[in-house]
Amino acid sequence: MEFDHYDRGILELLQTDSDRTVQDIADAIGLSATPTTRRIKRLTEQGYIRKRVALLDPDKLGLNATLFISVRTSQHDAEWLRRFADGVARMPEVVEFYRMGGDIDYLLKIVVPDVKDYDEVYKRLISIAPLSDVSAAFAMEAIKNTTVLPVK
């Protein structure tokens, strides 16, 4: 797909406020509403826009602790990964989950009401599949936390 400055503008604007009207977006990028609507539809159909969501305030929801869990395992077969990935996916506290390169095999970001609530998450995590090491670090302050991706 050819990606031009109008497409980039649409994506940048929608990332910062997906509630904008088509007319607002059109005015901001210098197009009329009809071609802007077609472009948004095309960007969605082609998968550039996966979905439009509301970002919730974790503090208002009482989710005051963010922890990063480092996981190491000595098992790296497909069945173990399927079992572990399926189990972690069912844990609502896990908001991000990555398979890593380097010393850590997996990295999880979790949100819980308090650091002491991590113990319950830990117990469920270690029951999913055999793990060699599980370490946690808690965030003291979120200095930058964004969902906005650079659109080049």
The answer to whether 93 and 112 are in contact (CB under 8 A) is: yes
What are the pLDDT tens digits along the chain (152 aa)?
Answer: 678 999 999 999 999 999 999 999 999 999 999 999 999 999 999 999 999 999 999 999 999 999 999 999 999 999 999 999 999 999 999 999 999 999 999 999 999 999 999 999 999 999 999 999 999 999 999 999 999 999 98
Looking at the domain 5-45, which fold is it? Arc Repressor Mutant, subunit A (1.10.10)
Residue 39 sits at φ, ψ, to 5 deg, of -65, -45
CA angle 36–28–48, rounded 5-degree value:
50
Q: In what helix (H) or strand (E) does residue 125 lie, and over which residues does it extend?
A: helix 118-128
User: What is d(CA 81, CA 129) in angstroms, rounded to the nearest whole number?
Assistant: 9
Where do the structural domains in the chain lie, given as residue ranges?
5-45, 65-138
pTM to 2 decimal places: 0.89
65-138, CATH topology level: Alpha-Beta Plaits (3.30.70)
